[in-house]
Structure 1
Amino acid sequence: MIGVAFVVMCLIFGTTFLAIKVGIDAGLPPFLSGGVRFTTAGVIVLLLLRMTGKVKISLLLRKETMISGAGLTFGTFAALYWAEQHVSSGIGAVLSATGPLMIVLIQSLLLRQKVSRRSIIGCLAGFTGVVLVMIPGIVVDVSGLWVLGCVLVLAGEVCYTGGALYSKHVITKLAGTNPIALNAAQMLHGGLLLLVLSLFTESWQISNWSPIPAAASLLYLTVIGSMAGHSLFYWIMARTNPLFPSTWLYISPPIAVGLGVLLYGEEVSLISLAGVVLILGGMIFMNQSAWDWLRRKGKLFSGNKILGQKNKVID
């Protein structure tokens, strides 16, 4: 089940950069778009879980979910949504792919956790592959806002890294709580912060929106991107560690390129193909021990929990 969940999550997240761009191009204020997306997704998931008796509303009052939401949702997506007004989705994808590298750096340098050489080499190979995949389609229009957008995407990845590492701590601390409920709570908190930011910084004039693409973007990002994709992220992280599910950031650019080929008949350069090979090679090399461990335990395509294995799952 973990293998299937990871593949589905990568496919979902591989399309969200484009969906965000569609919404912004349709006139949706970026912070408002993100706020509506995450607040709605969090409320719906929590209500569904509440109806089945799998969550207590008091979860929303815990500081752990508030901090997770501020980092993993608010910090990450406030930066990304604003930046995509001024940088291409290709640049955004490349800069966002620094997330796994930042996790490795923070774990080793700040948290003093042992990180295997395999993880470091795999992360570097994956990031290099992302750059190669996106090079042919990257459009650089250097300006002050472009530079600021790039800096903000990187700042957002710092928030993402801190939020992911802290969320793993929360999942372990609140081991009796459904990880999907934890994700819904942090999405709700992060979404509300985005709405507050939007209220003070953006105009909500509906007349400037293109209704059909705007609605399609919001619906897709809310249901598929947040309710499904982010729930899968938390579910996988509860059974592995923060680095493994975060490697979706390496998979999304090849998926975006593949969509361009299928939907628009775009050509793929040899450089991009080399990048895809490098990404897949880095992913396999980095996670080989994890896949071997899961396969031996018979849990790769089963729903059994391996939460208690801590960092032995992925070295």
Structure 2
Amino acid sequence: MILVNYLLMCLIFGTTFLAIKIGIDAGAPPFFSAGIRFLTAGSVLLLWMVGKRKASFSLLLRKEMLLTGTGLTFGVFTTLYWAEQYLSSGIAAILSATAPLMILLLQTVIARQRLALSSLTGCLIGSAGLVLLLLPGINVSFSKLWVLGCAAVLLGQVFYSAGTVYSRRVVQRFQDVSPIALNAAQMMYGGALLLILSLFTEKIHIGTMLAPNAILSLLFLIIAGSMTGHTIFYWLIAKTNPVFPSTWLIYRL
């Protein structure tokens, strides 16, 4: 079951970089569209879990949900959505592949565990393979905004790594709560923070948001990317460890 879910997550997440790029190229405001994506997905999932009596709205009152949402959703996707205005989805994917290595190192520092040579080697080989696979089809156009975009994606992976390691502790602390509900709550917080940021930084044009590519991109990212992919990711963290599910960034299909 773990392997099947992992492969499904890789398949889904492997398409999200392109879906984000399509939406942004259609004119969708980055922070607003990201906020709508996660707040909608999280709200639907939490309502579903509450309806099944497997979660309570009181979960939203826990500071752990805010902290996880800041790391796994707000910090990651603020930078990624902004950067994909100036980067190709391929470059963003390559830069994002640094996350498993960051998680491995962070987990080693925090837990004071010995760094496993096999894990480190696997991350490095996988990252190199991804670069070799994607690099031939990537066009690079150097500019100040391009460099800032690359830096933003890398900063986002720092948030992602910290959020992933922390979420493992959250899952262990809330063992009586479904990972689906935990994921829903953190996405709601992350989405709300993105919408607040959008309120102060973007001008929203309804006509642009209703463009076919923008709508299709948003729907795909809500249903497949967030409600399905991120739920599987959180479930895998609960069942395995922070590093394993994050290797989708290297081994995605």
TM-score range with shorter-chain normalisation? over 0.9
Q: What is the one-letter code of the residue matched to 2:250?
A: Y
Distance 1:89 1:149, change over 3 A: same
**1:209 Cα deviation from its structure 2 partner:** 4.6
Gaps of 5+ in 1: 256-315
Q: What is the one-letter code of the residue matched to 1:11?
A: L
**What is aligned with 1:67?**
67
How many percent of aligned residue pairs carry the same amino acid?
57
**1:95 Cα deviation from its structure 2 partner:** 0.3
**What is aligned with 1:93?**
93
For residues 234 and 108 of structure 2, what CA distance do their matches in structure 1 show?
22
**What is aligned with 1:7?**
7
Gaps of 5+ in 2: none
For residues 219 and 146 of structure 2, what CA distance do their matches in structure 1 show?
28
- Residue 19 of structure 2 aligns to a residue whose secondary structure is helix
For residues 19 and 105 of structure 1, what CA distance do their matches in structure 2 show?
30
Please say if 1:158 is aligned against 2:150. no
TM-score (norm 1): 0.79
Deviation track 1:183-205 (CA, whole Å, cap 9, x = no partner) reads 00000000000000011101101
**1:108 Cα deviation from its structure 2 partner:** 2.2
Greater relative CO (CA pairs within 8 A, separation 6+)? 2
Q: What is the one-letter code of the residue matched to 1:2?
A: I
Please say if 1:168 is aligned against 2:165. no
**What is aligned with 1:189?**
189
For residues 21 and 155 of structure 2, what CA distance do their matches in structure 1 show?
19
Q: What is the one-letter code of the residue matched to 1:174?
A: F
Q: What is the one-letter code of the residue matched to 1:69?
A: G
For residues 155 and 200 of structure 2, what CA distance do their matches in structure 1 show?
21
Deviation track 1:193-238 (CA, whole Å, cap 9, x = no partner) reads 0000011101101234561111100100000100000000011110
Of 53-62 and 135-144, more deviation after overlay is shown by 135-144
Of 132-141 and 110-119, more deviation after overlay is shown by 110-119
Q: Conserved in 2, the CA contact under 8 Å of 1:45 and 1:227?
A: yes
The CA RMSD measured in Å over matched residues stands at 1.0
**What is aligned with 2:146?**
146
Q: What is the one-letter code of the residue matched to 1:153?
A: V
Of 181-190 and 208-217, more deviation after overlay is shown by 208-217
- Residue 8 of structure 1 aligns to a residue whose secondary structure is helix
For residues 42 and 133 of structure 1, what CA distance do their matches in structure 2 show?
33
Please say if 1:233 is aligned against 2:203. no
Matches within 5 A, 1:1-315: 1-209=1-209, 211-252=211-252, 255=253
**1:110 Cα deviation from its structure 2 partner:** 4.4
Larger Rg belongs to: 1
- Residue 140 of structure 1 aligns to a residue whose secondary structure is coil
Q: What is the one-letter code of the residue matched to 1:126?
A: G
Q: What is the one-letter code of the residue matched to 1:62?
A: R
Q: Conserved in 1, the CA contact under 8 Å of 2:209 and 2:215?
A: no
Q: Conserved in 1, the CA contact under 8 Å of 2:208 and 2:214?
A: no
Q: Where in structure 1 do 4 or more consecutive aligned residues deviate above 6 Å? A: none
